[in-house]
Structure 1
Amino acid sequence: MDGGYLTQRSVSRKVSSTGGSVMLHIDSVLKPVEARIRQCRPSFSRHVVDEIEYVLRRGMLREGTCTLRFEDCFRKRTGAQYAYSVSNGTAALHLGLLCCIEPGCRVLVPGFSFIASASAVVHAGGVPVFVDVDPETFLLDIDDAWEKTDESTGAIVPVHLFGNVVPYDGLLELAEEYDLRIVHDAAQALGSTYMGAELGEFSDVSCYSFYPSKIITTGEGGMVTTYSEELGHRVELLKNHGETEKYLHTLLGYNFRGNEVASVLGLDQMTRLDYFLEKRRSIARYYDLAIGNIEGVVPQRVTEGTESCYNYYTVRVDPAMELDRDMIVMDMRNMNIETLVHYPFALTEQPALRKYVTEPCQVAEELAKNVFSIPIHPYLTKREAEQVILALRTVVYRYL
C-alpha cells in the first residue's frame, strides 16, 4: 500500500522478531491524510425521513405507537422481559438505580468510566464506592469489589466498557453473598454477548444509551430493561412523573420519557444492528492483528466468553516504553484522524466526586493517562482502517 500521503520521510527500518513485519522509525514532519477519518458516523435508512415526516404531520410527538414498537423490538433483541424507552442513557441509569437501592446505601462502581456511572448513584440517593479495574480488560476488578463490599452495600454497577463484558460468574457470586442488586451500565454494550447470551438476560436492570457515538443512535435516548415485573412497573411510573392515570400521581417521579421521533430512528437502527455489529467486529479483527505488530501499544483485552460490540476500539500505551499518550493523540489528530481519549480522568480524580473518594484507584488512574481510542464505525472503509494503522505505526515509532 502506498503510504506517501502520510509523510515526507526519512525512514530507518528494522524487522520485527514476530512475523518478519517491517517497523518504521520516522524522523520527519507528519502529513495529514486527505480526508478526515472520523471516530464515529451515525447513519440512517433513506425511508426514515418519510416516517419522521408522517409522525410530524400526525402531530403525536410524545410516546405513542412507535415508542411501543421500539420498546418491544428492543426487549426481544436483548432477551429482557420488559423494556422502557427514556430520554437518555444517564436517565436510564438514574431510573435503574432508583428502583434498586435505598437512600444512603453503598453502591460499587468501577473507578474507570464516564462520570454518569457514579453521578447517577448520587442522584438516586446512594453513595458510590470506587472499585479499581483490571489493567488489561479495563473492567471492574472483582477481587477489589469483594474487598470493598460490606453489609451496608446494596448494589453493584458493572460497566461493560467499550463493549467488553464484565464476567458474570464473579459478579453473581458476590451479589448472592451480599444480596446485592446488579444494575448493568450497558450504555456502550448493545449487541455484546457473554457466553452467547445477551446482557438483558442476566441482570436486575440493564441501562442503555443511544447517544450519537453508541452502537445505535436516536440523537439522544436510552432504554431500561429488566426481567422483573415489579421493577419494570416502577421504572414505568418513575419515568412519567409517577402517574397512574391522567393527572393522578402515586409517587414523585421524573420526566424521563422518550418520544415518537426518537423511536422512529431507533426502529430504523434496530433493523441494521446486525450489520453494524458485523462491520465493527470485522474492523476490530483487523486492528487486533495490525496493532499486535506495533511495539508499545496494547489493545483492550476482551474477557473470555465475551463477543464485544466494539463501541470504541481503545488501546493503551505501555508505560514501560515511556511513550507520551497525549503526543500520540495530538499527532494522530494532526494527521486528520479523529483520535479521542476515553477517559482522561479516573472517577476518583473528578472534582465533583471528591467527597466520595476514600482511597485512590491506582490502575484506573494509570489507565486514564495511557488510553486512547481510534476510529471504528460501520462505514469505515478498508483503506481508511489501513490509513489509521499506518498513521499509528508512523506516530508511535517517531518516539521509540
Structure 2
Amino acid sequence: MTDWITTPITADLLRGVIELERTGTGVLPHRLTATARAQSADPQLAMAESQPSGVRLVFSTAATAIELDSVPTKRVYAGAPPRPDGVYDLLVDGRLAAQGVVAGGNKLLIDVTAGTWETRPGAPGTVRFTGLSADPKTVEIWLPHDETTELVALRTDAPVAAVPAGDRPVWLHHGSSISHGSNATSPSTIWPALAASLGKVDLVNLGFGGGALLDPFTARVLRDTPADLISIKLGINVVNADLMRLRAFTPAVHGFLDTVREGHPTTPLLVVSSILCPIHEDTPGPAALDPEALAAGEVRFRAQGDPAEVAAGKLTLNVVRAELARIVAQRAEQDPHLYYLDGRRLYGEADATELPLRDALHPDAATHRLIGERFAELAFANNGAFGTDPARWRS
C-alpha cells in the first residue's frame, strides 16, 4: 500500500500562471487577472483564459508514483462530434515520460447557433503516473491546454519541493487559438511550448482561443507581467470575428503596444502577423462553421465576408499584415527593440499544400511542430528578435 504525501498546490509549484483563484474544492489557474476578467462579458474569453495552456506544475522529487486530482470542464458543442479528453503531459528532467487524462468532471454545453452556454457540475477525477525512477528528478505536469482544470490535490510517495525559476529568460507570448494550441494533441506540443523548449526559455502563454482582439485589459496584463522577451501575434481573430475596420484597427494596435511598453520599455518585443489562412487571405470575416461539414460529422470553418468591402475598410489577413508591418516600421524609428515577423514565414503557401489546415483555421499536431521549430529558428537565432545573448535579453 502506497504511503501518500499530500502537498498543497500553491503558486510556487506552478509556472505559466497569471493568477490562482481559490475555490471551494481547490485552486483554479487563470491566465488573466480578476480585474481583467471583470472587464469582459465574453463567455468565449472566460473559457479560454481559464484553460491552462502553458501552465504546468514543476517540482523536484524522488517519487516513483504521482497522483493529481482535478475537476476538468469538458466542452460539448451542439451538433459537433465529441471532443477528446484533455491530456496531461508528464515531463521528467525535460523529457516526455508519460501522458494521462481525467475523465468525468464538469460539462460545458455550448450551442454556437443559439448563443447559449450551460455548465453542469461533475465530480473530481485523478490522473496517475507510476513506475517512475526513484532517483531525484525535476518533474513537470503540463495541464491540458484546452480544458479548464481546477486542481484539487497532489499526492506523491516521496516529498516534493518547489524548483526555483532559475536563470532562464521568461518569454511572455500573446496570440489566438493557434497560440492557445487548438488541434494540438497535448499541452507540451503546442507550438509556443515547442519553441520555448528549443529556445531554452520559460514560457508564459497568453494565447486565447478567439481572444487576440486587442483588448486593453489584455495589454495591461502583458504590461504588468514580468518578462524578458515578449511576442504578440495578431491578425486572425480581428478578421474572423469581423471585429473592427481598418480605421479602428490602426490606433488599437498603437494603443496596445503603448500599454505594453509602459511596463516593458526596452524589452525585446516581437509583433507577429497571422500564418497563412487561405479562407481569410483576401476575404473578410466573419468566420462561421460550415453547416454542410457539420452535417457530415466534421468541423470546418468558412469565411462569410465580401471581398468587395475591403475598399471600405473591412479587414483581411493581407490588409492586417501590411498594416502591422507599416506600424512596426514606423514605431521602430524610436523603438530599437521592436521587431516584426510575417507569420507566413512560420506557415506559408507551400506548407498549406503539404499540411493543409484541417478545419480551415487551425494547424494539426505536425504543423504545430513545424511552426514551433520555425519560430525558434527565426526568433531565437543570433540575428533574430530575441537573439541568444542573455545580456541582450536583459539590457
TM-score w.r.t. structure 1 length? 0.21
Q: Which has the higher contact order (CA 8 A, sep 6+)?
A: 1
Structure with greater Cα Rg? 1
Q: Which has the higher helix share?
A: 1
Q: Which has the higher strand share?
A: 2
